[in-house]
Amino acid sequence: MGKIFAIVSTVLGSIIGAGFSTGQEIFYFFSQFKETSIFYVSFSSILILLILLYLLDIKVKSRVILKIFRAYILLFSIITLIVMFSAFGQLGEEFLGVSRYVFTLLCFVLSIAIFKHGLLAVVNINKVVVSILIITVGFVFLKSVYKNEIVFQIESLKYTLPKNIFQHIISPLLYSAYNSLLAFPVVNRLKERFHKEEIKLSIVISSILIFLLLSIINTLLLSKNNVQTSQMPLLKAEKSIFLQSILVACTFLEILTTVLANYMGLCYSIKNSKAEFVVITISLLLGFNQFQVLLRKLYSLMGYIGLSIIVMLILSTILSKDRRLK
């Protein structure tokens, strides 16, 4: 169970980044659907499960396709790093009143220091941070229910297909593709320390927890109209200074864990420490831009590219007997 907990925490830590722990990503991708959000949250959670299980086992023989996949992971890691650096700075400015440039640099320094200690350091920090975040979010939710501050948006489980079905389906597809590929380099590294069956079980558990967290946070955001214009809506949803402080601290740490996941993505794609450092430095400089603008524009873009990559991989493995990705 200790191994499963470590893997689950690490997989979740690679997905629960700035957009997730601040609520901005959930609001953008799911809350727009109001009372039917639960269907899209469910759809995304199932897709994340299926994509991660698929990526765990495949192998691509074609060098061209493998190079395209590595190039995507590289681009993906760079763009996510830019957003994470920006989020760390924005969080410091919004809640601590310190220049976001200072906190962006702090994120860079701390992440490099942690990453130098290897995969074990990443696993250990995730075990602590993910546990605290889950407990705190659950407590905030139950507290809001007890005080009748939660207005459940699901009036009925009856669902009719909307007229603009493409617009409704594309959001969960983009979210699933983006976050599955975000977790892939981490899952790939976990194979060095854990058995494949342990990782598969952990992916199943992680998907269930993602569904629960998405549902809880989405309900909180929909019930509190006053937070929906904030760049950090979840952090503004709790009035208690103590609980808000825990959420802010968790968000700082979750941003770091996502940065570490993307460092693994760079290692998977580049395999050259000097080139990796140059890429990280460029990402840092670009990360001085506004968090909300970066997240909304770049995440959707990478989601579309990610969908294309996943379709490409599926087609390549259908035509090949050997289905493992090196």
Over residues 111-138, the pLDDT tens digits come to: 888 888 877 777 888 888 888 888 888 8
For 75-120, write each residue's pLDDT tens digit.
888 888 888 888 888 888 888 888 888 988 998 898 888 888 877 7
Q: List phi, psi (to 5°) of 97.
A: 70, 20
**HSE of 66, CA atoms in CB hemisphere, 13 A:** 12
Question: Whole-angstrom Cα distance, residue 284 to residue 7?
Answer: 28
**Contact call for residues 291 and 231 (beta carbons, < 8 A):** yes
For 2-23, write each residue's pLDDT tens digit.
888 888 888 888 887 767 777 8
For 201-259, write each residue's pLDDT tens digit.
999 999 999 999 998 888 888 877 766 666 677 777 777 788 888 888 888 888 888 88
Within 191-240, residue ranges assigned H as helices are 196-223, 233-236
Q: At what angle do helices 241-269 and 100-115 cross, to 10 degrees?
A: 60
Structural domains of the chain ordered from first start: 2-318 (1.20.1740.10)
Q: How many residues would you count in the chain?
A: 326
Q: Share the mean pLDDT of the chain.
A: 80
User: DSSP for 58-85?
Assistant: -----HHHHHHHHHHHHHHHHHHHHHHH
Q: Read off the amino acid at residue 181.
A: L
Q: Is the pTM of this model over 0.75?
A: yes
Single out the residue of 237, 240, 41 nearest to residue 153, CA to CA. 41
